[in-house]
Structure 1
Amino acid sequence: MPNKSTKQLDILKFIYEKQQQRGYPPTVREIGDGVGLASSSTVHGHLTRLQNKGFIQKKAEKTRAITVTNAGLQALKQADVIMSNSTPTPKIDTPEDILTSINDQTVILQHHSNTMINIGILNHDFLLIQTDATIIDGSIVAVKLDKNNDGELQNDVYRYFKEGNQIRLQPENSNLKPIIADNVNIIGKVIGIYRNEIN
């Protein structure tokens, strides 16, 4: 069964794209056809929830009076569904989990572990990473690690501590142990978080 929040993002994206292409928004029936929902009442339910969250504005008396708000645009951009001016932002050719290069100093990285759950950074969260930030003790950093000693680098997130000639990567998860290393390949400092759910 499709995730409700994902379906709402699909609807938000569909409304936005049709508005950009044609200059006016789609009807409820067109939205249903566009996102694979046969029931108009289901579409209406999603639209009501999107409106309650402030992502769209709609007038009940008009079939096409649906507008994506600034908050809705932000939700789409942060979910990597659209980019500004509908122009895709170039992908960077480092690990696949780095989704989007926003500018020369900032990327969006999707986190795929439980290393930081004690401070609310969860598996599958999207993290805003500043690649040119100054890293000090206690900074939350995204790093590339060879976790399985097979030469394949994987992304993860830890707190950074410099201890003598070594670096300690401290997880915020009481079930995990810190990693001690001589050198660490740091992607950048975590400066923001976005959770890809709008329920």
Structure 2
Amino acid sequence: MMKKISAKQQRILDFISEFSLEHGYPPSVREICAEMDLRSPSTVHAHLKKLQEAGYLEGSDHKSRALSPTGGPSMVPRVPILGRVTAGMPILAVEEHIGYVPFEGAVGGGEYYALRIRGESMIGVGIMDGDLVIVRQDLSARNGDIVIALLEDEATCKTLSVTSDGVWLLPENPAYPPIDGTGCQILGVVKAVYREY
């Protein structure tokens, strides 16, 4: 989740980005002190910690050389790609952190992640085989939402339909049958589709 940062923190972030692009590695705490006209390395450490907590820097141990911006100079928020989900018949949900994808909407709050779609059951709403869907982690969804649902240990991407005769997971392709969603667990709501080609 990306949080608001102060003007000083934005300046530090811009400096880290520009320095990293120019040198191929981030600046040291002392270099940040010099650039920002700060005397105390602990002040820089405090700003770096805030930037890391806000999602603008990634790394470890609060050593600035180990920290790197989560995007280019524009700092577009990114969400982790956690694996594959089916848009066909349900397949085993595999969680594997395999990279990042940019998503501006991640600033609004909540946990987001991306999943690679396998299958063609959602082509009617423009979700194609091989696309990445950006999902907001949520345990509930509204009727008509496109959701990632878990049935036993299998995850699927479908449109949620709650009717008087039960819960259904509907494909958006007439070649696929509706799935009885009774007892399914909602893992999240699809917020966007990302196509890499």
Q: TM-score, normalised by structure 1?
A: 0.47
In terms of fraction of residues, the more strand-rich structure is: 2
Q: TM-score, normalised by structure 2?
A: 0.47
